[in-house]
Amino acid sequence: MLRIIVQLPKQESVRYQYLDIIHDALITAWLAAGAKKEEIYGYTAKPWTFAVLGWHKKEDKQPYNFAQGLVISTPSPELAKHLLKITPDMIKYARVSTLESVNFEQAEIQAEPDPILPQQSIFAALCLSPLALSQRAEQGKRWHQHLNDCNLNTAINTRLSRLAGRKINLDIQADNLYLRSTPEHSSLVPIKKDKRGRVGFVIGMSAPLVLQGSEEDLRFAWYAGIGEKNRNGFGCLGLID
């Protein structure tokens, strides 16, 4: 298990529009570090997740995202060995179709300490990247927009159990005061733009969470991320100080 922080200098940032280019830059870095493609994407991929640390604003009436850092995490011992070999100059990607280019070569990388203490059974977390949970509907798959409208335990434990290859049994509760004061706690995240100019979105939710369970289950959730589309930049957790 390993989690790293990729941090740019204070006055530097990387501008992008669609989250997919950050994902592709990380895929490029994984491959450069020696990981096999079947380990990092597709149905056979091992669990990993990431979050972009940054902000949003408009430039020339266009919305842009600005990354000042990245968190990259995996519970997989095999992927952790490759993650140790990633250097900042490996994290870069250019896409002609959207005229985007990202490059983190000026960043510094440091490993993040494991926050789960021996025999710890509870911790408070925030969503460094939005939590994505889907539901089946007549029109196809739809994304949940309110944490009160879904069974967090069932949705999150089912996916984590599949990723871990064993039963995960966590109790996950969102902060009720936050949900009452912030009823609109979801956002549209632009993922990619296709050749026809159509933009693909995922709806993700963000709120303080309390996770309870065994030390091993808490640690797996911390390193794997929770919810869906973890490898695409969703469900990465952070600690609440």
pLDDT in tens, 29-53: 999 999 999 999 998 999 999 999 9
Please report, for the domain that includes residue 80, its CATH number.
3.30.70
Determine the pLDDT at residue 181: 93
The answer as to whether 201 is a domain residue is yes
Same-domain check for residues 214 and 233: yes
Strands 122-127 and 237-239: antiparallel
Same-domain check for residues 17 and 65: yes
Same-domain check for residues 8 and 105: yes
Same-domain check for residues 55 and 147: no
- Residue pair 155/234 in contact (Cβ under 8 Å)? The answer is no
Question: Which of 80, 111, 142 marks a domain boundary?
Answer: 111
Determine the pLDDT at residue 139: 67
Residue ranges making up the domain that contains 132: 122-239
Same-domain check for residues 9 and 75: yes
Is residue 191 pLDDT above 90, yes or no? no
Helix axis angle, 152-164 to 215-224, nearest 10°? 90
Same-domain check for residues 107 and 128: no
The answer as to whether 117 is a domain residue is no
Integer Cα distance of 226 and 222 in angstroms? 8
Same-domain check for residues 142 and 106: no
Is residue 188 pLDDT above 70, yes or no? yes
**Average confidence (pLDDT) over 218-235:** 96
Question: Which of 111, 134, 154 marks a domain boundary?
Answer: 111
- State both tokens at 156: 């999150």
Q: pTM for the complete prediction? A: 0.92
Most confident among 59-68, 186-195, 196-205, 217-226 (mean pLDDT): 217-226
Is residue 220 pLDDT above 70, yes or no? yes
- Residue pair 64/49 in contact (Cβ under 8 Å)? The answer is no
Please report, for the domain that includes residue 152, its CATH number.
3.30.70.1900
Give how many domains the chain has, as a whole number. Answer: 2
Same-domain check for residues 134 and 233: yes
103, amino acid identity: N
pLDDT in tens, 130-173: 999 998 766 667 899 999 888 999 999 999 999 999 999 999 99
Same-domain check for residues 105 and 130: no
Neighbours of 136 (CB within 10 A): 8
Confidence class for position 60, pLDDT limits 50, 70, 90: low
- Residue pair 96/134 in contact (Cβ under 8 Å)? The answer is no
- State both tokens at 42: 């597709």
The answer as to whether 184 is a domain residue is yes
Question: Which of 111, 138, 153 marks a domain boundary?
Answer: 111
Is residue 232 pLDDT above 70, yes or no? yes
The answer as to whether 200 is a domain residue is yes
Q: 221 phi and psi, to 5 degrees?
A: -60, -40
**Average confidence (pLDDT) over 77-100:** 92
